[in-house]
Amino acid sequence: MNSNEKLEGNIFKFFKNLDCILIINTNVKDPNFFYFSGLKGLFEYDILIITRKNTVLLASPLEFENALSQKKIKVVKKVKNSLFLRRSVKSKKIGFNGSFLPTALYHQIKRKYKPKRMVDISKTLEKIRAVKTKNEVEKIKKAVEITKKAFEKIPSFFKAGVSEKQLAEVFDRLLLELGSEENAFKTIVAFGKNSASPHHEPGNSKLKKGDLILIDAGAKFEGYCSDLTRMFTFGEIKKNREKIKSMFNCVEETRKSILASLKPGVEFKEITKIFENTLKKKGFKPLHSFGHSIGVEVHEPLPRKLKKGVVLAIEPGVYTENVGGVRIEDDFLITENGPVEL
């Protein structure tokens, strides 16, 4: 069965008026599907049925054996006009993820299987996933460790003439060799002035002496993501030296201000204000958010207020056109006593 402690504690304490929850993939996997099932794979258009008694996967013949082999939850083979689905849904109050389920599929379920009521529970799902269990934190921590080890190894691959794209490919290979299941997201590598673009796409720019190097990357371990950013220099920086030094100082001070504010009960708009004001005092404009939640997705919705158990990627950065950008990013668990770096 799924090892998520929240499910073992009965997920319906969050949904007292519902009889059943449906989580349905399309040709893209709903992140809640993995969260509630623990199943790895796409399971295209398969249906997760969560009741007060158990969690069942209605699987296509194509995915049936894969699901059975993972031994996570009960699996039933999906057939046309499935009686199992009809019995689970008909005349029942059904919860569904309205931020993911296509409108056409929503209407198809209403027409074919005739639930009493369908309730969009997407916001509650976000709140449930925002607070991590000890088990989830350990998985994120392992993903962080893998990424940090890759950062330790990558400088040996810094050579004049290597391209951003080539270095990104090397970093991806290191992540896999160190135990990552896959990338949490596409690795960002930016040389020199390219680092002034927060979401730079690695290209054919070649590394040369005096360049800044920004690498933003993350591993995935047992379905959970990390997200870290590190800065390097290739040789001594001479051009724009003082400007770049002031950027590093600004990021360090901003990071300290943000971390000092991370306590349960603090609203994110307050943290954003601290972040933006610190940058402005140093003469920089905020072009990027201070951070985001992280879990089974690398960018998860932020709760309005911080809570104990939330995991955040904190990533203050400053960016100067035609000079470069500086961003430092680490992942933190919010505890009663403030943030703890993972």
Per-residue pLDDT of the chain (342 residues; tens, 9 = 90+): 344 555 555 788 899 999 999 999 999 999 999 999 999 999 999 999 999 888 999 999 999 999 999 999 999 988 765 788 898 899 999 999 999 999 999 999 999 999 999 999 999 999 999 999 999 999 999 999 999 999 999 999 999 999 999 999 999 999 999 999 999 999 999 999 999 999 999 999 999 999 999 999 999 999 999 999 999 999 999 899 999 999 999 999 999 999 999 999 999 999 999 999 999 999 998 888 999 999 999 999 888 899 999 999 999 999 999 999 999 999 999 999 999 999
For the chain, the first-to-last Cα distance in angstroms comes to 27
**What value does the CA radius of gyration of the chain take, rounded to a whole number of Å?**
23
Distance CA 155, CA 93 (A): 56
**Angle in degrees, CA 33, 38, 39, rounded to 5:** 75
Same fold, 5-129 and 134-341: no
Pick the CATH number of 134-341 from 2.60.40.3080, 3.40.50.2000, 3.40.50.450, 3.90.230.10: 3.90.230.10
What kind of fold does domain 5-129 have according to CATH?
A: Creatine Amidinohydrolase; Chain A, domain 1 (3.40.350)
How far is C-alpha 8 from the chain's CA centre? Answer: 23
Residues 6+ apart with CB under 8 A from 242: none
Q: State which amino acid sits at residue 67.
A: A
Residue 156 exposed, middle or buried by CB count within 10 Å (0-12, 13-18, 19+): exposed
Distance CA 333, CA 342 (A): 7
Domain spans, the chain: 5-129, 134-341
